[in-house]
Structure formats: structure tokens, C-alpha cells
Structure 1
Amino acid sequence: MILLQANQVARHFGAEVLFDHIQLEIQDRSRIALVGRNGAGKSTLLKIIAGIDEPDEGTISKTKALTIGYLDQHTGLSSDKTIWEEMLTAYDQLRALETRLRQLEYKIGQPELLADEEAYARLLKEYDQLQHNFNEQNGYGYESEIKAVLNGFRFDQTFYDRPISSLSGGQKTRLALAKLLLERPDLLILDEPTNHLDIETLSWLENYLQNYRGALLLVSHDRYFLDKIVTEVYDLSRHKMTHYKGNYSKFLELKAEKLASDWKAFEKQQTEINKLEEFVAKNIVRASTTKRAQSRRKQLDKMERLDRPVGDEKSARFLFDIEKQSGNIVLQTEDSAIGYDETILCEPINLDIRKQEAIALVGPNGIGKSTLLKSIIGQLPFIKGNTHLGTNVTIGYYDQEQADLRSHKTVLNELWDEHSTVPEKDIRSVLGSFLFSGEDVEKTVPLLSGGEKARLALAKLSMDKENFLILDEPTNHLDIDSKEVLENALINYEGTLLFVSHDRYFINRIATKVIELSETGSTLYLGDYDYYLEKKLEAEELALLKKQNSETKETVTLVSNKNQFQQSKDYQRKIRSLTRKIEQIELELAEVDDTITATQMEMANPLYIEDHSKLMTLQATLNELELKQENLMTQWETLGLELEEQ
């Protein structure tokens, strides 16, 4: 079923056209990505589709009672409530229904109502209907649903009572998205939803959105995310929209094929036009051939001429050269620790980076990835250990906060002042390759957008020609096309790379190794991001198996040691009987604990987040398990006391 259609939509700014003749269709289970360059008008179009802004031309038609949830990329949840109180407001209607049910239960229980059969039957009928609706809307599981979503966004129970006003901007943005998911609109429109999310949270969100029952319309620079979620792509380019079926990678393939096909058709027609025009020119004045020439001229006049195919708008184009080669050993650390003010974030850290390796540094937010980079370049001291740089190693550093772009210089002078012996035309040429041309080079740094500052920082880095690049989130603020240009430049770079990035697509293209930072230190994985995920999963499964085997051995050893201390056969028999009972209860407790954990994890699975019937069944199972756990603990304590008295 079609939920929404955009018909001939346009947006103008005076005489300038941002986009026009836009056609877009959203079905009830659509998974759509809207892609295009920064400035193409993606966010503007989303606001028009969401009903926030009106189009200058065209219409937006939608089904009656369609509910739309819209998340602006700069939106943060603003509220005086605590996190838990605010999340509950997503269920205001359901909670009002719950209140009405309690009222009806009270009325139905009143003795005087039994005398009025008609009124009793009427209330009972209303109660049955409301009870059905309450079950259908997950009335008995909505609190579990809130906990699952909050946990997915890294808000555990310690956050529930915290005022939203006390949170950071990134936390407020994550909460805004969490509440939107809990509200479950028919159409979810998300503008850069992956901002402020670490890799683990991104993975959770991908799983959740894959199972979302409504339609999705997404704008995102995270290509890995788009590949996981979307099944169709609308490309907004040169003021027009083109529709493609498939995920983002398929879109790239189809777009390239379309451009090649358009060129082939255009060149074929041009060849035909040239032949016809040449025939007309040669034969129009000859009496014997003039009629045929006139016929060819009419054929030319009637021909619907194809426009010359155009690719994307102008792209950045650059390379990272090196001044001199480094030795084979580039950087080494051994059992190092990083942090602030003697507070250790991560240890031990062991690095052995060799020439021309490209190493991605990953780990949860707050573990110290950026801190490690700053410690390596000497901005922060190591709490333990230090860094050894190899022969002829020269470091180029890209700061995600762009701290070195704090001047009020022009773009031109920002580069030229650091390379004063380079001719101005060469500086302008470098800036042009990073899309700074004409009057752009006269802009002052504070007036630049985030994307422009990122390109300027990369331009400065390319001028330095260092052989070891240390990059902290280099793809932040870059549109997809600029990311791809950066990737190609780094793939062709002859030096060594160490970088931090949340862009998993970028990591897969660039990294030859992955180093994970965690509370237990650094772990090396000899492959790209997908390889890292595979090996990490294998390690977790192996650790769980070892733990289970270890617990079994410990139980057997404990029983054996206790029996060795007993001399009396009767005494031993009684002790063994009590021990066996305790062991049996402990085994049952272990099974119940594992089942409780598994049930809780299943309740937090995005697959069941909207399956109210399944959540109710799981909650009932959890209640039974917890009661069984309590009874077993009582028996275990009683037998334990009896054993101590022997």
C-alpha cells in the first residue's frame, strides 16, 4: 500500500532552483535512502515530506491517519522530566487505557452493580474490548520495551532517574531517536541518525530498523549502515531525482551502468547526426540528390536529441605524497597505559606498526582511542610506558576537532603562511583540488562549514608530505563522494596509516589490520572490519564455553575435597546426601539463571520489540523463572545450614 507520494515537488530560493520535478513514492514497508551531495537539498526535501515545510511547487499526498516521525540531524530531546518519565510519555494513550481498565475493574467488582444486569453486561463488554486492545498494544510489556530500547542506546538503569536537562548534546540526540522508535510511527524519517553513535550502538540500531514494521526514509553518510538497511535509493543530483532498486552498493553499480549506457546512446546518436548532417551538406545543392537531402534534413528536425550525459558535480581530487621513506619499523609501544590525571582508561597497550600498514583503532566511546593518538604525537603523556618511533618516521596528524583551524585567516593564507616558498598559483591549485576555487579561497576560516573545514584540514595534511598519517575520525563532516575520494587517496598512499573511525565502510576499504581497545587493553586482528567482527564473535563463543567447562570442574573438585575430610561412613553418607541435594539445587539454579539471562536478552532483541504477544509470553516465562529461583534459593539456604551443623 502506498503511504505517501511526492508529485512534481520543487524548492526555489529566489531565481535559484534547489530541486524541481521531484517524484517519490513510499510504500508501507519501504526502506529508502535519500542520497546526494552536501547542499543538494536532502534535508530540505525531508522536511517537505514530513510536512514541516511546504513545497514551492508540487504536492505531497498521503494516506489518511498516516503517522510520521521525523528526526532532524541537529535535534536533541528537550524536557524537564527524567529519562524514564519522558520515555513513558510515548505510551500516554496506552497508559490512559490502562487507567480506564483499572476503573472498570473497580466498578465491575461493586456488589450493587450485580443488581443491574444491563449495566453489568455493558461494562463487561467494554472491559473485554479494552482488555483486547491493551494486549494488542503490548500493555503488559511496554516497560520492557522501554528498557530494551534504552539499553540499545547505552542508557542502563543508572540513567533512568537522571534529568534530561543534565545530559550532553549527543545523549539528548540519542534519546530523541529512542523516543521516536518507541512511538512507532507508520513512516519514520531520519536525517543522519548515526551521528553520536558508537559502533556497537550502530549495530543494535541496524538490527532494530531491519525489523521495524513501518516504512523508513533515511539520509545518512554511513554507507555500511545504508547497505544493511535500505532496499531502494533516491539520488538527488543536479536538481533532479533518480530512483534505483537495491542497497547503497547496488545503487553505485546501477548508477555507473546507467551513465555508461547514456553515453553509449548519446555517442551513437551523435554519430548518426553527423552522418545525416554531412549528407545534407554535400547533397542539398545537387539537383539529382536534393530530394534525398531534404528528406534527411526533415529526419534531423524530427529527431529527439539526447542531452549530453553528465556525471556527478565536480569532485575533490587529491593524493597524499611522502617526502621520504621511513624504516620498516614505524611505531612500537609495550605495556603502555593511557588516560588523564593518573586515571587509566586502557592498559596494557601493545603496538607494533610496520611500514605501509593501515591500522584501524576501534573500541567503545570513552575507552581512549583519541587519547592514544594524542599520546603518540606527544600532546598527552602516557601514564605508563612510551612510544618508540622508527627511523625517518615523520607524523602527519588529523584532529577530528580541527584544533589547528582556529585562526581568522583566509583559506588561501591558512596554507600559504605554512608554505611561504611555494608559489601562489601552486597553493591555489592544491586548494582547487579540494574544491576551493575562485572567491572560496578568500573566505575566512570561521565562516567555513564543517565539511569545508574538513577539506581544508586535509589540504594542509597533503601539503606536509609526511610518511606516517595519524587520523582521528577523518570522514566526519564529509559527504559520501568526498569520503570516496579520501578513501582512494589513502589506498594509493605509500606511507603508513593509523586511524580512528566509526565509519565501518571506510574501515573495510582502508584497514589491513584492526586494533581494539577495551578495559583489558589492546587486541590485534589481522584483517578488515568484517574480519574483526567474525573473530570477535568466535572469541566470545569460545570464552563462554571455557567458562561453562570451568564451572563444572570447580563443582566436581569441591565435592571431592569435602568427602576426603570425612572419616565416618554414616557421617559421610549423610553428608553426601546433603551435598548431592545442594549440588542438584545448584545445578538447577545455574540452569534457571542461564534461562533468565537468555529470556532477558530475548526480550531486548529488536526482532521482538513490537511483537506484543511474544513479549507477554516472555514476561510470563520470566515471572515463573524468578519464582522458581526464589524457591530454590530458600531450599539451598536450608540445606546449607543443615550441612554446617553436621
Structure 2
Amino acid sequence: MILLQANRIAKQFEGHDVLLDANLIVQDGERVALVGANGAGKSTFLRIIIGEETPDSGAVSLAKGASLGYVSQFLDTAPDTTVYGFMEQAFTQIFEMERELRRLEREMATPSVYEDEARFAAVSSTYDRLVQTFEEAGGYAVEARIRRVLAGLRFPQEMHTQPVASLSGGQKTRLSLARLLAGAPSLLVLDEPTNYLDVETLGWLEDELKTYPGAVLVVSHDRYFLDQVASVVYELEDGKTTRYPGNYTDYVEASAERLAMETARFEAQQKEIARIEQFVQKNIVRASTTKRAQSRRKWLARMERLDAPKTTNARLALSFQCARPSGKDVLQVHDVVVGYPDKPLAGPINLQVARGQRVAIVGPNGIGKTTLLRTLLGRHAALVGSIRWGSHVQIGYYDQEQADLDEEKTVLSQIWDAFPRLDQTTVRTALGRFLFRGSDVEKPVAGLSGGERSRLALCRLMLQQANVLLFDEPTNHLDLPAKEVLEDALQDYDGTILFVSHDRYFIDAIATDVLVIEPQGCRLYLGNYTDYQWKRKQEEAEAARLESAGLDSPATGTDGRNASGADRADRADRADSGANEAGGTIRVDGAHPTAAGPDINARTSAPVRSADVRKLRDKVAKLESEIAESEARKESLEKALLDAGMAQDFVRAAQLQEALEQVMESYTALMEDWETAAAQLEELEQRM
């Protein structure tokens, strides 16, 4: 069943096309992801889908009786509305049914109704029908649903009576999501849900969405999240959408295959055009072949030319270098407690970092991860403990809020003032690598988008050439291509990295260690996020086993680190030992058989026989007939391939592409045979 359908949506802003032909279908039970670069129009498309924007053309339709819910950033509630009371607002109809059931129960218990058999039967019948409706709506499970969702999204019991007005912006957004999940609309629309959830809560949300009773439409740059949740991916590019079945990894693979297929078709057509143009140029002046050449020229004029595939959008050119290496021992943290005098957040924290380590810092929101980074930098005082940096350490810091950017400056002056020894050409070149080109460098910092501010901050960080990099949520405002560029740059970086991130895909790509911050301290795990999750599950299983046996759980520290690392090394060894061996290629050389014809060169002095001329004319005519059939077959396959592409049936498209390549091979061979036979015929006719 189709829950939502957006057909041929187009939208312009100030004469600029944002959406040209955007289409999207959400089936009941599907988990649909909408992806695309920053500025591609995803947010505009979502606003049109939920009814906040009106398209210039096209239409959005929601199935009859279906409900659509989305997370609002702004909660309009009464001052005394509590967290739990806000959740109850999602079940107004159920609570009205419950009140009606209580009223009917009281009515049936009154003597006047109880003693009136007919009236009692009518009231009890109404009551039975309402009970059934109440049960089908999950009325008896409402309280359990509310408490389960609140717990999953980090609203503990003590917060249930807290006024909504007292919550932070991020907490209000989470509460809005909690109410939607509990209310279970037919279609749940989520716009960047990973931006306001910590790693542990994201894991809970992924599990929740996998079993969600309705459908989900999500915009997210979190590739790990999309891999876990999505069953369909729509790519929005140049105002148009393309549908791919599967999760994000499936989409990346299918997109690459589609690009390769389109590139092969384009290159094959260009090769064919060049060959026919050469034939026309060579034969148009010959009286005996001019008609054939004119026919080919007309065919070229009618040909539907394929556009060159767009290989990629403009990408960042990011590279981190160290002006000089640091000492081997980079950082020592001893018994540090972070937070505020009236509110300690976490500690004691003990950590040793060596040159080349890449430590991911994770933990629940509000635990003090950013505070820890700022404490390491000396921008925030530790409550207790000591921090010691090693020799020759030069620190570069990326602030997720970009508070160090001067709102009064332009993009150019922001970088040039930070590096006054650089000439303007060097500064402009560096900014160009971060997609600030032409007049973009004169934009005021105050007017930049979140993604632009992130790129500007990364440009400044790159030019610092620090040997230790501290990142606070570096991927928050970056689109998927930019994240991949940042990952590649950090993987090639020779220095040391400490970073806070809830992007698990990013952590998997970068981290050599994961530092888990807890109120009572920290725990360090060797490996990336996947390794940490594997080790944590081992610890939970062991703790459950010991608890069932009535024993205490063992303390974990460096033990957790070593076990995780050993397992990771073991798996790497197994992967290396199982690598495929490259096979040799057998090459066979030999002549390609071609259609036989009279050997003109061997018999130049022999008289021309009319039988030979007639035989060649028949052969040329037959080849021309076969060429016409091949051209018709080729045109038919190209049309079918275009239709399959429009329908996004990539399995059918791959089959058609294979058939088209076979026809093209046959067509090329026929044209070569025809050119040979036509030349031989022309030679004989001139000698007659």
C-alpha cells in the first residue's frame, strides 16, 4: 500500500531551480532515506511533503486515513505542561474513549439502567464495541508505551514531572520525537535525528525504527544510521530523484554501477558517432557512395545524443600536514575531574596518548565530552587532577560551534588575518580547495550556512599544520561527500587526534581507540566503534552470567582495552589469510575471421567479370539490410534502456545494457564488412 506519493515536484527560489522533477513513493512499512549534498534541496522537499511549503508544480498525496508526523523544533505548550503530560497529548482520542468507557460503566451500574433490560442491552452493546476499539488502539498499553519511549530517549522517571518549558532546545526536540514515536503515526518524518542524540540513544532509536509499525522517511548524513535503518534510498541531485533499494551501502554500490553503466553507454555512443562521421566525410564526395553517406548523416541528425554522465559534485581538497612532529609521548591526564564547582560532570579521568593515536571520545549527552576537550586546551579549569602535554606539541582545535570565527569578517579576511604571512593568491587557493571561489570569499562570516562555516573552520585548521588535532563534532554540518573527504584526509594524517563525535561511521573510519566517559571516570577500548561495541557486548554477557551465578562482575580497565585489541588483530589476521589470490590472464593471439570477398589486389590485371560485380552488389545490399535491422534493434534497446532507467529498474537496465553491447558489437562488425565490400564494389565498377 502506498502511504505517500510525491509526483514531479518543482520549486524555484528567486529564479533558482531547487527542485525540477523530484519524485518519491513511501510504501507501508518502508524505511525511506533521502540523501544528497548540502544545498541539493532535501529540506525544501521535506517541507513540501509535510505541507509547510507549496510546490510550483507537482503534487503530494497521502493515503486516505493515513497520518503523518514530524519532529518540530519548537514546542508550543502551556507553562505548566510536564514532560509526561506532553506525552499524554499524543493519546487524546484514547483518553476520551477511556473516559467514555468509565461513563458507560457508571451508567450500567445505575438501577434505572440495570433494571431496564432493553436499555441495559443497548448501553452494554455500545460499551462492548468501544472496548474493542479501545483495545485495537492499544489503550491498555498507553502508559507502558509512554514510559518505554521516554526511557529510551533519556528522560528518566525523575524528569517526568519537569515542566517542558525548563528543557533545553535539544531536550525539547527529543521530547517531540518521543511523543511521535509513542503516538505511532502512519508515516514518521525525521530530519537529521542523529544531530541531537548521543551514541547510546541512537542505538535505541535504530532498534525502535526497525520494528516501527508504520513507515519512516528520514533525512540524515549519518551513514551508520542509514545502514542500520534504511530499506530504500532516494538520491536528490540536480533537482531530480533516483530510487535505490537497500541501505546506504547498497546505494553507494548501486550508484557507482549506474554511473559506470551510463559512462559506458555515453562512451560507446561517442565512439559510434565518431566512426560514422569519419565514414560520411570519407564517402560523401564519391558518386557511388554518396547516398549511403547521406543516409548515415541523416541518421546522425536523428540520433538522441546522450549527455555526459555527471561524475561528481565539487569536492573539498583537504589535507592535514604537520609542520614538525611531536614527541613520542603526547598527553598524560591524571585523575582529572571535569565540570563546574557546583556541578562535577565526570571523573576521575586517566589517559595516556602516544604520537599517532586517534582517540574517539564518546558518552551520553551532558557527560562533559566537550568540557573535557576545552579542559585539555586550558580553556576550562579542571576541578582536580593534572594535565601534561608532551614536547613539541602544537595543537589545532575544531570547535563545533565555530565560536572562534569572527562574525564581522569576510571569508577571505578570516583566513588572511589568521595567517598574515601568506599572500592573497595562496589564501584564495586554499579557500578554493574548500569550495569558496570567486565572490564567495567576500561573503561575511555572519551570513554563512552551517556547512560553509564548517568548511571555513577546516580550512583554517589545515593551514595551521598542527601535529595534534582536537575535534568537537567535526561532521555535524558536513554533507556525505565532505565527510568522506575529511575521513580520507585524517586517515593520511601523521599526527595525533582526539575527537568527540556521535558519527559512528566516522569513528569506525578514524579511531584507533575509544574513550568512554562516565560519571565515575572513563574506560578505554582499543579499536574503533565496532570493536568497542563487540567488547561491550562481551562484558554485558559476562556480567549477566556472573550475576546469575551470584558473583560480582570483574572490574574492566586495561583488560577491556587489551581484549578488544587482541580480538581485532585476530580478525585482521583471519581476513589477511583469507584474501583472494589474483589469477593469471591467458592471452590467445590470432586472426579475426572476416567475410571473404574477391581478392582485388591479387587480380588487378584480370578482366572484371559481371558475375563478380553482381555477387558483390548482392552482398552489399544484404549487409545494408542487416545494418538497418541492427540499427532498428539498437534504437529499440536504447529506448527500453531509457525507460528502465526512468523506472529505476536497475536489474532490467543491466540486462538491456548487456544486450545492447552485443548488438553494438554485431553492428560494428557489419559496418566494417559493408565498408570493405562497398570499397571492393567501387573498385570493380571503376574498372568495368
- What's the TM-score once normalised by structure 2's chain length? 0.78
- Structure showing greater relative contact order (alpha-carbon pairs closer than 8 Å, 6 or more residues apart): 1
Quote the residue 2:530 is aligned against: 530
- AA matched with 1:505: Y
Whole-Å separation in 2 of the counterparts to 1:552 and 1:41? 55
- AA matched with 1:512: T
- 1:336 aligned counterpart, secondary structure: strand
Cα drift, residue 317 of structure 1? 1.5
Once the two structures are superposed, the pairs formed by residues 128-147 of structure 1 within 5 Å of their partners are 128-147=128-147
1:374 touches 1:380 (CA, 8 Å); kept in 2? yes
Quote the residue 1:88 is aligned against: 88
- AA matched with 2:293: A
Cα drift, residue 552 of structure 1? 9.8
Cα drift, residue 551 of structure 1? 5.8
Quote the residue 2:265 is aligned against: 265
Whole-Å separation in 1 of the counterparts to 2:551 and 2:528? 35
- Does residue 1:487 correspond to 2:487, yes or no? yes
Whole-Å separation in 1 of the counterparts to 2:78 and 2:220? 26
Quote the residue 1:242 is aligned against: 242
2:546 touches 2:552 (CA, 8 Å); kept in 1? no
2:29 touches 2:216 (CA, 8 Å); kept in 1? yes
Quote the residue 1:109 is aligned against: 109
Once the two structures are superposed, the pairs formed by residues 433-448 of structure 1 within 5 Å of their partners are 433-448=433-448
- 2:139 aligned counterpart, secondary structure: coil
Quote the residue 1:209 is aligned against: 209
2:195 touches 2:476 (CA, 8 Å); kept in 1? no
- 1:195 aligned counterpart, secondary structure: helix
Cα drift, residue 343 of structure 1? 4.6
Quote the residue 1:560 is aligned against: none
Question: Which stretch of structure 1 is more off in the superposition, 285-294 or 421-430?
Answer: 285-294
Quote the residue 1:400 is aligned against: 400
| 1:552 to 1:84, Cα distance in 2 relative to 1, 3 A | closer
| 1:216 to 1:313, Cα distance in 2 relative to 1, 3 A | same
Give per-residue Cα distances to partners, 1:375-423, cap 9 Å, x unaligned.
2111123233322222322111111121211341111111111211211
- AA matched with 1:41: G
Cα drift, residue 174 of structure 1? 0.8
Q: What is the aligned residue count?
A: 552
| 1:186 to 1:324, Cα distance in 2 relative to 1, 3 A | same
Whole-Å separation in 1 of the counterparts to 2:51 and 2:375? 48
Give per-residue Cα distances to partners, 1:326-348, cap 9 Å, x unaligned.
22221122333222227532223
Once the two structures are superposed, the pairs formed by residues 149-228 of structure 1 within 5 Å of their partners are 149-228=149-228
Quote the residue 1:391 is aligned against: 391
- Does residue 1:60 correspond to 2:64, yes or no? no
1:76 touches 1:170 (CA, 8 Å); kept in 2? no
- 2:279 aligned counterpart, secondary structure: helix
| 1:43 to 1:550, Cα distance in 2 relative to 1, 3 A | same
Cα drift, residue 126 of structure 1? 0.9
Quote the residue 1:540 is aligned against: 540
Gaps of 5+ in 2: 554-688
Quote the residue 2:35 is aligned against: 35
| 1:132 to 1:279, Cα distance in 2 relative to 1, 3 A | same
- 1:348 aligned counterpart, secondary structure: strand
Cα drift, residue 500 of structure 1? 0.5
Quote the residue 1:253 is aligned against: 253
Quote the residue 1:499 is aligned against: 499
Quote the residue 1:18 is aligned against: 18
| 1:115 to 1:381, Cα distance in 2 relative to 1, 3 A | closer
Give per-residue Cα distances to partners, 1:65-95, cap 9 Å, x unaligned.
22111225x4445443111222111111111
Whole-Å separation in 2 of the counterparts to 1:299 and 1:101? 77
Whole-Å separation in 2 of the counterparts to 1:140 and 1:47? 35
| 1:520 to 1:195, Cα distance in 2 relative to 1, 3 A | same
- 2:193 aligned counterpart, secondary structure: coil
1:412 touches 1:441 (CA, 8 Å); kept in 2? yes
Whole-Å separation in 2 of the counterparts to 1:87 and 1:269? 60
Quote the residue 2:419 is aligned against: 419
1:369 touches 1:517 (CA, 8 Å); kept in 2? yes
Quote the residue 1:347 is aligned against: 347
Give per-residue Cα distances to partners, 1:486-533, cap 9 Å, x unaligned.
111111111111101011111011111111111231211111101101
Whole-Å separation in 1 of the counterparts to 2:422 and 2:106? 86
Cα drift, residue 311 of structure 1? 2.5
Moved over 6 A (4+): none
Cα drift, residue 107 of structure 1? 1.4
Whole-Å separation in 1 of the counterparts to 2:77 and 2:40? 29
- 2:66 aligned counterpart, secondary structure: coil
- 1:190 aligned counterpart, secondary structure: strand
| 1:76 to 1:509, Cα distance in 2 relative to 1, 3 A | farther
| 1:320 to 1:213, Cα distance in 2 relative to 1, 3 A | same
Quote the residue 1:281 is aligned against: 281
Give per-residue Cα distances to partners, 1:549-602, cap 9 Å, x unaligned.
44699xxxxxxxxxxxxxxxxxxxxxxxxxxxxxxxxxxxxxxxxxxxxxxxxx
Question: Which stretch of structure 1 is more off in the superposition, 57-66 or 521-530?
Answer: 57-66
Identity across aligned pairs (percent)? 49
| 1:321 to 1:88, Cα distance in 2 relative to 1, 3 A | same
2:231 touches 2:246 (CA, 8 Å); kept in 1? yes
- AA matched with 1:484: E
- Does residue 1:361 correspond to 2:361, yes or no? yes
2:188 touches 2:216 (CA, 8 Å); kept in 1? yes
Whole-Å separation in 2 of the counterparts to 1:322 and 1:98? 67
Give per-residue Cα distances to partners, 1:266-324, cap 9 Å, x unaligned.
11110110011111112111112212211211221222211110023212111111111
- AA matched with 2:419: H
- 1:253 aligned counterpart, secondary structure: helix
| 1:551 to 1:320, Cα distance in 2 relative to 1, 3 A | closer
Whole-Å separation in 1 of the counterparts to 2:14 and 2:380? 51
Quote the residue 2:508 is aligned against: 508
Once the two structures are superposed, the pairs formed by residues 307-386 of structure 1 within 5 Å of their partners are 307-341=307-341, 343-386=343-386
Whole-Å separation in 2 of the counterparts to 1:108 and 1:511? 67
- 2:195 aligned counterpart, secondary structure: coil
Whole-Å separation in 2 of the counterparts to 1:464 and 1:494? 14
- AA matched with 1:520: Q
| 1:75 to 1:267, Cα distance in 2 relative to 1, 3 A | farther
Quote the residue 1:4 is aligned against: 4
Whole-Å separation in 2 of the counterparts to 1:112 and 1:79? 42
Whole-Å separation in 1 of the counterparts to 2:131 and 2:474? 54
Gaps of 5+ in 1: 554-646
1:77 touches 1:173 (CA, 8 Å); kept in 2? no
RMSD (CA atoms):
1.7
Quote the residue 1:634 is aligned against: none
Question: Which stretch of structure 1 is more off in the superposition, 107-116 or 457-466?
Answer: 107-116
Cα drift, residue 547 of structure 1? 4.0
| 1:77 to 1:493, Cα distance in 2 relative to 1, 3 A | farther
Higher Rg of the two aligned structures: 2
Whole-Å separation in 2 of the counterparts to 1:231 and 1:266? 30
1:10 touches 1:57 (CA, 8 Å); kept in 2? yes
Question: Which stretch of structure 1 is more off in the superposition, 16-25 or 207-216?
Answer: 16-25
Whole-Å separation in 1 of the counterparts to 2:532 and 2:128? 53
Give per-residue Cα distances to partners, 1:144-200, cap 9 Å, x unaligned.
111111111111121122211111111111111111112211111111122221111
Question: Which stretch of structure 1 is more off in the superposition, 160-169 or 344-353?
Answer: 344-353
Quote the residue 1:610 is aligned against: none
- 1:218 aligned counterpart, secondary structure: strand
